[in-house]
Chains A and B, each alone.
Chain A
């Protein structure tokens, strides 16, 4: 019997754990053909804000060693168009959709959740409290336990959909923040958002990005993401959507072993749009090769000898 790819993340049921990460796949429609979306577990849509946003000045993307910086600045169509036009179109993709919401205030998170819940078109909500590319409401929310609790509570009051809090790993103690999310009723976590970074053109002494700083993604951040997933899984036991530089099925196994029940693939789409579908296709075989009967039974099975870690962090 082939390994079981079905996962259930606190009510978010997926036929396979491979999701497209928020922001990289737009609303899914833009990559429907090239990424073979029908073969994936689902799509986490680009973050939506209450009002439409134009985003940051160009250039917005810059390749770095084993990764890239982006400074899109949450350009999006806004809540009205998202609910009236975008979501109904994306629903036609026929795979589970997760809405990513980004508020600048707790009240905005509440109204985003309420309105999107009403459409009945998404299977879960991800709160983007960790975007590095917006001045207010982005990463600041995500570094403060009080703010995270307020956001989670507000979203919970307006929607009983599975709720995943997307955290930044650019914090002192991510497990502490994850616990705050857990205690206020989050279903799970989404780990990790891009890592803040800067690229410089020495000749011009100027930043490479119009938004000056950006968010680093791709294989360069994979070890950071794995550590965040592992720590948060140990601290909370919550279901985790894990991602950060997943390029192939071995990366996927590593994230599952660290504690992820689902996988978010993003930057790899730019390198090779077919890669997420390939991971979904190859995962059962890869699970069997390492002696796992399914995704669920492999989650968080990292073997760590001893308990007292004395150095490193």
Chain B
């Protein structure tokens, strides 16, 4: 238990698990002890124990950081969060195969959220980068705040099917042109930035995509926030496991100072860690 305001290590129950696109699952969990918690905000994440407790949990010692995709409800006695999870290894495979009713431990909400206090906002999502940006778009929908979402996927089959639920404008891109515009989503950003006055840009996706978007935003003078992925152990800034080099001052700690950063602080990697 923790005083109001801090993350809480609590239990969740899987209430729904749907393979929304091949290899990608939308997992909804009912979470406990919500009375003490502020509602998760777009960009924040939970450290989720993806394995059941057999053997005292000795086989797998690390939780997995999962970005919040939506908060379907947030009231005492009826609180839930959903995660969009890509099966990439043992942890995500285990989590995605859990049937409804499975109990999991999760610590959160953690990290720094996107700043979406001003509008209009340009959102650029690549692949699973849609997870936190879908959430940001939903929150802006609730406020009636304007935004444009550009979402890129490998192919039409991997397009996040819930994009149609959004009220704001969105534009689809696919690598193979099977749906929407053909090409990399970042290819359309320059034109978008030149046509409208955005107060900020939010980007989440592959490193190369975020690097490209960040560079275009910097050129256009539009503040850009990026949400980074990193291998993590503690999720609270204690172990320094998720740290990476910053552009001008030493290191940035992805879990506690991020995962959302002003793009100007970030040195982007040439490829994605897996």
Q: What is the CA–CA distance of A267 and B238 in the complex, to the nearest angstrom?
A: 12
How many interface contacts (CB-CB < 8 Å) are there between A and B?
Answer: 119
B231 contacts A248, C-beta separation under 8 Å: no
Q: What is the CA–CA distance of A185 and B13 in the complex, to the nearest angstrom?
A: 53
Residues of B within 8 A of A33 (CB): 2-3, 6-7
Q: For window 84-116 of chain B, which residues contact chain A by CB distance below 8 Å?
A: 90-91, 105, 107
B59 contacts A65, C-beta separation under 8 Å: yes
* A26-B237, A30-B234 known; A58 vs B57 contact (CB < 8 Å): no
B256 contacts A61, C-beta separation under 8 Å: no
Q: What is the CA–CA distance of A52 and B251 in the complex, to the nearest angstrom?
A: 12
Task: Count B-side interface residues using an 8 Å CB cutoff.
Answer: 39
Q: Is A13 positioned at the interface, with any CB of B under 8 Å from its CB? A: no
Residues of B within 8 A of A274 (CB): 9
Q: What is the CA–CA distance of A52 and B240 in the complex, to the nearest angstrom?
A: 14
Q: Is B232 positioned at the interface, with any CB of A under 8 Å from its CB? A: yes
B107 contacts A271, C-beta separation under 8 Å: no
Q: What is the CA–CA distance of A30 and B234 in the complex, to the nearest angstrom?
A: 9
B56 contacts A24, C-beta separation under 8 Å: no
Task: Count A-side interface residues using an 8 Å CB cutoff.
Answer: 40
Q: What is the CA–CA distance of A46 and B243 in the complex, to the nearest angstrom?
A: 15
Q: What is the CA–CA distance of A248 and B58 in the complex, to the nearest angstrom?
A: 10
A61 contacts B62, C-beta separation under 8 Å: yes
Residues of A within 8 A of B232 (CB): 61
Residues of B within 8 A of A68 (CB): 61-62, 233
Q: Is A160 positioned at the interface, with any CB of B under 8 Å from its CB? A: no
Residues of B within 8 A of A270 (CB): 61-63, 233-234, 239
- The 0/1 profile, CB within 8 Å of B marked 1, for residues 32-59 of chain A is 0110000000000010000010110111
CB proximity of A145 to chain B, nearest CB, Å = 31
Q: What is the CA–CA distance of A70 and B241 in the complex, to the nearest angstrom?
A: 7
Q: What is the CA–CA distance of A33 and B238 in the complex, to the nearest angstrom?
A: 12
B231 contacts A30, C-beta separation under 8 Å: no
Q: What is the CA–CA distance of A72 and B239 in the complex, to the nearest angstrom?
A: 8
Residues of B within 8 A of A26 (CB): 234, 237-240
Q: What is the CA–CA distance of A46 and B233 in the complex, to the nearest angstrom?
A: 15
Q: Is A237 positioned at the interface, with any CB of B under 8 Å from its CB? A: no
- The 0/1 profile, CB within 8 Å of B marked 1, for residues 96-135 of chain A is 0000000000000000000000000000000000000000
Taking beta carbons and an 8 Å cutoff, which residues of B are in contact with A? 2-3, 6-9, 49, 56-63, 90-91, 105, 107, 230-234, 236-245, 250-251, 256, 273-274
Contact sample, A vs B, 19 pairs, CB 8 Å cutoff: A23-B239, A24-B234, A26-B238, A30-B234, A33-B3, A34-B6, A34-B236, A54-B245, A54-B250, A60-B231, A60-B241, A63-B62, A63-B90, A70-B239, A218-B58, A245-B58, A270-B62, A270-B63, A270-B233
